[in-house]
Structure 1
Amino acid sequence: MGTYGYMPIEYVRHGNSSIKSDIFSYGVILLEIITGYVICGFSDEDTEENLLTYTWRNWCEGTTMDIVDEALPSTKNHINQIKRCIKIGLLCAQEDPRQRPNMSTVLLMLNNDTIDIPQPLRPSPLVLINNMDLIHSNSQSSQTHTSHETSLNDISHSYLDPR
């Protein structure tokens, strides 16, 4: 299906794919564009923070502008658009696929500043370490983390071969 950081939580944990799987990936990419960080290259092993939880923490603390890539414009109008995009990115990256908007709603929220955006919930603390080990909680309320290691036998590769 893809790279771990872009895979929705339900696919990583249970192998379930849904119509909302791409919405999760879109949210991650949107947050990458805004922050200038890449999901697979961003992890803090001390705090077990990843791009999603880092963005969430700053969102809750009201310090979202501290995480914005310096290359983005910072006029008042742009700041409002950036904060709106962060909220949409967090909403798209919800752990529960039912909480994610569909793509037509995302486009509506991006193109219309008067549309109210629902409050996102805390994202799952899914962390990618060294592109091989996953640390995640089984639920949002869980305080324990388990480690799942993958081996080369668990990874499938597809090669395109012209006829």
Structure 2
Amino acid sequence: MVINYGMTSKKALECYGAKFLARAHTCRKVCLPMKDAMDGDAVHWYLAVIMLDDKQVHLLDSYPSKKRQRSRRNAVVTMIEFLDGLFEDLYRQVEPTLDPPVLEKFSLTIPSIPEQRHESDSGVWVCSWMMGASWDSSYNIWPCGDIRRMQLALYLVQQPTNYIRHVVIEEANRN
């Protein structure tokens, strides 16, 4: 999103720093949902997970495509380059005595993960990986289906940061 709007790392820090980045220097993992706009209206989601302690970037794609592999890797590399500048600016402001991680030196790996049968489930897989990323680095998720979609929807609706949470709950109680 930030890169699509042509933001510099300094501008991103200015806009989002107070809300999202105040404790970024204590992060161990950073999840980057990535969107691949394909032919026509098709959209595919995949995930890059930056493992700061391990100095690795994991590229997770539940529906890999040989045709799109290079462009997806390049998009992750572009995001890493952007984040390098962001981390450098952030550390300068928040923790000037610490050196920021140099993400461009991290190895980009593609772990062996389950693959989905239908391309249309990629967003559900990305959400599942992100929800489990804090405690699990194996990226094994259960198969997608209506039950999993409903679990994700309920989880997202119930989050305190969902600003229309009360509306959804009121509607559910009415029905």
With the shorter chain as reference, the TM-score category is: under 0.3
- Give the structure with the larger strand fraction: 2
Higher relative contact order (CA 8 A, sep 6+): 1
Output the TM-score relative to the length of structure 2: 0.26
State TM-score, norm by structure 1: 0.27
User: Max radius of gyration: which structure?
Assistant: 2
